[in-house]
Structure 1
Amino acid sequence: MATVGARETPMYASISSAAEDFRSTRRQMLIHAGAVLAAPALITGARAANEQLVLASYGGTTETFMRTEVIPGFEKETGIKVVYAVGTALSNYSRVLATRRRPEIDLYWANDLSHLAGKQQDLYLKLDPELVPNLKNVYPLARDADGIGVMSNISGCGLQYNPQKFAEAGFAPPTSWLDLWDHKFKGRVAIYSIGVLFSQDFLAMMTRVFGGNEGDISVAIRKIRELRDSGNVVAFANSPAEMDNIMTQGQAWVNYNAQTRALALMQNGSPLKYVQPKEGGTLFSVIFDAVKGSPNPIAAQKFINYMLKEDIQSATAEKIGYAPVNMNAKVPAVFADVMPRNEATLRTFVQLDRATMNRDLENWTEVWNREIETRRR
């Protein structure tokens, strides 16, 4: 197995990084793509063998997992060598877009935003069920309506809290998004800045909780401004790592966070807990997209099929905290209360209008920065 690119951040941070820069206008996408074209060749010597594929994926814990527990088995089973190109969701998308006339990447591990953008740009293949027979074993939710790509794993965004601090104060665990507005949490709530995907999901979800929709965020902006002005918000985090510190050091007792982030911390011994709000957690996913016109579309789809296998899906849930889409895969017992494990629990997640979010993200950012962050008391 070869590697291309420098080490990057874990998948959950990659999604955040992508969302931070993902102002989905065509002009800005082309700027990113132009930067890639201007750079030296990104994939060097990747086509030395006939049977191989270039996989554009993530760094950190995801890279470690893929290198040690997925790729060796795939290479042994199929004889196909994998070239692992490391980047964020956005930087890898830019590579795919920049090289569309002569693709270098066979398979791209996208997120909701870059999957949608790539479909609009006609960058991805429709999958062949003969090459990806495990498609029949995934939840209907995981299948693209047009057959282009497939969700490989899912996660969500809900509430994270410090049970020790709650117990000391005599507080019950949070159960609702509305708990963030409870006066007893004055000076105890942390929220993300808008550049982090989790905050974009929070904003979208609050439009629904307060009776609106993603097409009009005014009610959510007003309510979040009230949350800030109430004195409940003690900190704005600009990154997941910063939020980890705020929560683990006890500066804040409750926040919203990605399920994957929270579960990874729990696995590493963090005392923080994660709960699914009764109104539902937001759903987001990572998606395998085979690149149209790439040198090895068959190998790419074989890899997708391998990643959808029951045992690989279970291992992915255990090691990097992303819930399986294979209906027969097992969820780790330690995560059984918070990780979706069947169609019933999947229905507790809310699918946001990603198309509208993607279209309006630049405006959302401007409004949030003007109304929420630059007008802090």
Structure 2
Amino acid sequence: MKNIKRIACTLPLAVLLASTQAHAEPTLYLGMNGGTMERLYADKVLPAFEKANNVKVVIVPGTSSDILAKVQASKDNPQMHVMFLDDGIMYRAIAMGLCDTLQPSPALAELPAKAKIKEQAAAVSLGVTGLAYNARLFKEKGWAPPTSWMDMADSRYKDKLVFQSLASSTFGLHGFLMFNRLQGGSETNVEPGFTAWPKTVGPNVLEYIASSAKISEMVQTDEAALFPLTPTQVTALKMRGVPVEYAQPKEGAVVLNVAECVIAKNNQSELAQKLAAYLLSAEAQAPALEEGDQIPSNPTTPTSARTHAPVAEMAKYLETAVSLDWDQINQQRPAWNSRWSRSIER
């Protein structure tokens, strides 16, 4: 026994660590939004997968742009295994070769076509960008709820429209591109939108904001009357007592899904594919819906008395929702951002 102990004590530290790690549970790193979403997944969604597969899933928090930048920086030796990105940014990730093809699974097969992005990614939650408004202010002024993206140009909202910056927000980009379409433009031609904006929507804008974080405060002080937003975010604000309502534009809202992909060249490809499949399942999406109001992409996800209506409403919104040409957008967006900063937000 003494000889065995003596041999163990003389083993190199690296060998001892390797032996310990061989018996330790593997770790997967999942890149996704921080804050509320991070806590929701850490507390309610991931524990069942971790227990069933004897694995630890560590969330790497950040915006979609942050996560994409981190994965791109380590693309030859990825530090993450699976990532969540807004659908537009996911198209960029796929074009960069950062995503593996999703392996077939029962959960993937259950998703509708609109929830899939090529062969590499799929939505974990569904959403749309439409218009939201300050319900208290609208009632006080006797204004009818907005019905069109062109309402952003209505003079009654002078200095009452809050618009997210095109350069930093998907909401702002959606709002601009829908306005551009109504001016006769398209994802390949934004000249009509840029030409018309300064004389139509521009005079109504009180402030161009970097993200939607300021909207709650600006509604409560009645600075903001109208702004692009998602039904899910409107629900979250209403639960905090903020007087907002969602309005579906007659031209259609814009599809805004949160999608996942398995990161290419990761060192746990089989487990990463297994995690990705789990996150598309009704088992994973049910707690995300009930505890975090994340609208499920898997249509077999059960609903409760509280969540049935929001899920049904989203299905209705998606019937007429506009899907943008993200391959075209991502090619031109840097130039648009530069022009926007130079001519709109100057």
Which residues of 2 match residues 364-375 of structure 1 at below 5 A?
364-374=336-346
Number of the residue aligned with 1:141: 114
Q: Is residue 89–residue 109 contact of structure 1 (8 Å, CA) maintained in 2? A: yes
- 1:370 and 1:90, CA in 2 relative to 1: closer, same or farther beyond 3 A? closer
Letter paired with 2:196: K
Unaligned runs of 5+ in 1: 1-44
- 1:285 and 1:342, CA in 2 relative to 1: closer, same or farther beyond 3 A? closer
Q: What per-residue deviation string (whole Å, max 9, x for no partner) do you get for residues 27-78 of structure 1?
A: xxxxxxxxxxxxxxxxxx9998354322122210011101110111211222
Q: Is residue 142–residue 151 contact of structure 1 (8 Å, CA) maintained in 2? A: yes
Q: Is residue 260–residue 320 contact of structure 1 (8 Å, CA) maintained in 2? A: no
Distance 2:27 2:52 in 1: 13
Aligned-partner SS, 1:234: strand
Which residues of 2 match residues 137-286 of structure 1 at below 5 A?
137-145=110-118, 147-194=119-166, 195-228=168-201, 231-286=203-258
Letter paired with 1:365: N
How many pairs were matched up?
326
Aligned-partner SS, 2:120: coil
Aligned-partner SS, 1:84: strand
Instruction: Give the TM-score, by structure 1 length.
Output: 0.79
Distance 1:334 1:226 in 2: 44
- 1:199 and 1:167, CA in 2 relative to 1: closer, same or farther beyond 3 A? same
Number of the residue aligned with 1:42: none
Distance 1:361 1:243 in 2: 25
Number of the residue aligned with 1:104: 79
Which stretch shows the higher mean deviation, 152-161 or 186-195? 186-195
- 1:370 and 1:109, CA in 2 relative to 1: closer, same or farther beyond 3 A? same
Q: In angstroms, what is the RMSD of aligned CA positions?
A: 2.5
Deviation at 1:90, TM superposition (A): 2.3
Identify which of 91, 96, 103 aligns with 1:128.
103
Unaligned runs of 5+ in 2: 1-19
Deviation at 1:351, TM superposition (A): 0.7
Distance 1:270 1:46 in 2: 49
What is the aligned-residue identity percentage?
27
Letter paired with 1:197: T
Distance 2:206 2:33 in 1: 32
Structure index of larger Rg:
2
Number of the residue aligned with 1:54: 29
Instruction: Give the TM-score, by structure 2 length.
Output: 0.85
- 1:92 and 1:373, CA in 2 relative to 1: closer, same or farther beyond 3 A? closer
Number of the residue aligned with 2:91: 116
Deviation at 1:290, TM superposition (A): 0.7
Number of the residue aligned with 2:56: 81
- 1:327 and 1:247, CA in 2 relative to 1: closer, same or farther beyond 3 A? same
Aligned-partner SS, 1:295: coil
Which stretch shows the higher mean deviation, 159-168 or 243-252? 243-252
Distance 1:283 1:331 in 2: 22
